[in-house]
Amino acid sequence: NAGVMQNPRHLVRRRGQEARLRCSPMKGHSHVYWYRQLPEEGLKFMVYLQKENIIDESGMPKERFSAEFPKEGPSILRIQQVVRGDSAAYFCASSPHPSGNEQFFGPGTRLTVL
């Protein structure tokens, strides 16, 4: 049973470009969470998705950020017109439970904005 997969592991973008981060949950998990982690800081919740539904996006910036979890394929976190402040590690986690219990993390995508 493969763990949570994320790609790419490292992503470099210039200011103004778009970043697309992908997350494939563990087999049997239908709940996906995205977190942002700045250097030397904790995990900040961004968004919680189930298949084809955004359940909670209270942690997501209102502009430039969007997320989806289609019926087929991975969950995608999309950042449009990236700025230097978007540089961070973005982790996704998946869970078999709707309550957020037992979240298992992917390896993260480290986004660097030049």
Partner 1 sequence: GENVEQHPSTLSVQEGDSAVIKCTYSDSASNYFPWYKQELGKRPQLIIDIRSNVGEKKDQRIAVTLNKTAKHFSLHITETQPEDSAVYFCAGGGGADGLTFGKGTHLIIQP
Residue numbers at the binding site for partner 1 (CB under 8 A): 33, 35, 41-45, 48, 56, 91, 99-108
Task: Quote the CA–CA distance of 45 and 36 in Å, as a whole number.
Answer: 7
Nearer CB in complex with partner 1: 64/105? 105
**Closest listed residue to residue 89, CA positions, set 21, 47, 37:** 37
Nearer CB in complex with partner 1: 15/44? 44
Nearer CB in complex with partner 1: 82/103? 103
Cis bond upstream, residue 8 (ω within 30)? yes
* 16: DSSP letter: T
